[in-house]
Amino acid sequence: MTRLIAGAPSPLGASYDGKGVNFALFSVHAERVELCLFDDKGTERRLPLTSRSGDIWHGYLPDAHPGLRYGYRVYGPWDPAKGHRFNPAKLLIDPCAHRVDGYLPDNPVLHGGWDTPDPRDSAGVAPVSVVVDLGYDWEDDAPPATSWGNSVIYEAHVKGLTCLHPAIPEAQRGTYRALGHPVMINYLKQLGITALELLPVAHFADEPRLQRMGLSNYWGYNPLALFALNPRYAASPETALKEFRDAVKALHAAGIEVILDVVLNHSAEIDLEGPTVSLRGIDNSSYYWIREDGDYHNWTGCGNTLNLSQPGVVELARQCLRFWVDECHVDGFRFDLASVMGRTPEFRQDAPLFTAIHADPVLSKVKLIAEPWDIGPGGYQVGNFPAPFAEWNDHFRDAARRFWLQQNLSLGELATRFAASSDVFKRNGRLPSASVNLITAHDGFTLRDCVCFNEKHNEANGEENRDGTNNNHSNNHGIEGLGGSFDVTERRRASVHALMTTLLLSQGTPMLLAGDEHGHSQHGNNNAYCQDNALTWLDWEKANSGLTAFTAALIHLRQRIPALIRDAWWQEGDGNVRWLGQDAQPLSAEAWQHGVKRMQILLSDRWLITFNGTQDVADIVLPSGEWHAVPPFAGEDNPVTMTIWHGPAHGVCVFERSTA
């Protein structure tokens, strides 16, 4: 291990082949690159990477082994006006490292300098990359390959989901291992979800300002190393990859897919006052969108924006996604602030990264879900992503909340959202599943808080309650907070049931926020990104078992209704859907826009969903035939047939047509 030989330019990162390690680093403007090796005492040895193929610097180190700690020092121009901020005094993480050791502290030694390069050496303070052996016995693991039409997504945080679960061994709570524990898998199966969507698990850092306030980044949307698992959720950094793979394998064996939330839009280097620990020092002007004055375009609100129109950065992103699919067997991705992925800098459906994903024989076949906006010019792109992307549908979220909680939405608008927002997604060959329907997500109120709070209460975040949206479309039912009389509690329960029914029995792909089926509350905090505590952790001992059973019954009911699982657009007269008024007659044009907010939806000529969105009890005449309420609205052995539903205020019910 005394010298580097030429090696190969692909794949990026550090690759162990059983005999040595190949190193490959992308940098367009670097003039010299040093591979820095560290022994157990932290002593540094520098080896020049002298081989270059195009914009890839590479070298092979014979006899190197997994566990080798390394980093880079990159030399090049210091010209901030042109975006060049090379500073070899700063030790840099490999962007493609499969393991990173060390914490990213709020330390001025890590800063690269503003107008002039900071001369202080950051080795000893900066985290280091570690070579990993990617070998693993997957046995007979196979992806569940659940069709989009049958998919029900469950968005969860690795730690928050299980760290308070009393039936999971204490040492495993809040970890990757807990995701694959039989107790957790049995719960997910009984609930009926088909895909577990995890908030970011790639190695992330705590922003300096959070550290100064004694807080941490809980959600994980501050990526430091996109190819490495975050060790916070593992017994040790050395075992993180195995623990995660074990969990994926166990979930797959139970028929549950794993979708990862990935952040391909900015990095933990934040703005120019942030640390220089990786991309900024490797090639700032290539990895980031740079303004004419040399500062960053901050289209993410996080200080910087990745330039995913640059071929080398596109390839890095493609290889990152392939790593998670090939080496960790994940089944898909949810992309945070995904409009950045299509910027050229204007948003384009044929942007380089979209084209690369579509052309990739593996990535084009996994589930791809976009959060279809960023905060830059033209950043709101709901409905405009190319196939095979699905998208979070905020139109559905807002419509459901407005109809049930504020009573200021027409039946026509609700029906459009119920029918997978065909006005938004029925184009370019896209299917109803492209609409990922949600009432809540990690970002915003929980479902319980939607019916208990009119205002956000984010004081604990240290930003004087300025953070988080003010546009929640919520309704506290007369009292701000979780308390209230029996009447208030019952009205809240009815609203929760109505919202949950609308979500799980609408056309499109439903996404359920973990804990909503428990009645979990964050006490009005609608931006709990920095709250790693009991505010965000699910308290399984206080879970509302009745609501959990209600949710599970709805999910299982959904799987019985062909109109919801066929993933085909509803057409007039095709038998999939009929829209009826409270008198069981087709709705008039006037009723669609200005009628009383009561409606019946007949699906597959067999299942009838009745909505009373008013504050008054109402008799709703059911269509001809014999109908009986189905679970969770009646018992399995319910013998009662009905012709009129006595609909409570803000009430819902589902009936099945009796057969001879």
What's the angle, vertex CA 606, arms to CA 604 and CA 608, rounded to 5?
95
Distance CA 229, CA 179 (A): 15
Residue 234, CB half-sphere, CA atoms under 13 Å: how many? 21
Helices (H), 104-235: 158-162, 176-179, 182-191, 208-212
Q: Are strands 84-85 and 78-79 parallel, antiparallel or unpaired?
A: antiparallel
Give me the torsion for CA of 541, 545, 549, 554, rounded to 10°.
Answer: -90
- Length of the chain equals 660
β-bridge mates for residue 70, sequence order: 37, 129
β-bridge mates for residue 137, sequence order: none
**Alpha carbon of residue 478 to chain centroid:** 33
The residues assigned a catalytic role are: 336, 371
Q: What are phi and psi of 272, to 5 degrees?
A: -65, -15
Please write down the long-range contacts of 44-49, taking CB distance under 8 Å and 24 or more positions apart: 44/123, 46/73, 47/3, 47/4, 48/4, 49/4, 49/23, 49/25
- Measured from the Cβ of residue 375, the count of other Cβ atoms closer than 10 Å reads 15
Give me the torsion for CA of 539, 540, 543, 547, rounded to 10°.
Answer: 120
C-alpha closest to that of 227 among 251, 197, 263, 252:
263
> Are 118 and 139 within 8 A, CB to CB?
no
Distance CA 7, CA 35 (A): 13
> Are 510 and 152 within 8 A, CB to CB?
yes
Please report which helix (H) or strand (E) contains residue 549, including its range. Answer: helix 545-558
Amino acid at 285: S
C-alpha closest to that of 224 among 275, 159, 259:
275
**Alpha carbon of residue 527 to chain centroid:** 15
Distance CA 269, CA 224 (A): 8
Distance CA 455, CA 399 (A): 19
Amino acid at 499: L
> Are 538 and 589 within 8 A, CB to CB?
no
- Measured from the Cβ of residue 5, the count of other Cβ atoms closer than 10 Å reads 12
Please write down the long-range contacts of 642-645, taking CB distance under 8 Å and 24 or more positions apart: 644/619, 644/620, 645/610, 645/619, 645/620
Torsion sign, CA atoms 318, 320, 325, 326: positive
> Are 96 and 13 within 8 A, CB to CB?
yes
DSSP 3-state assignment of 275?
A: strand
Question: Each residue of 546-575: b (16+ CB within 10 Å) or e?
Answer: ebbebbbbbbbbbeebebbbbbebbeeeee
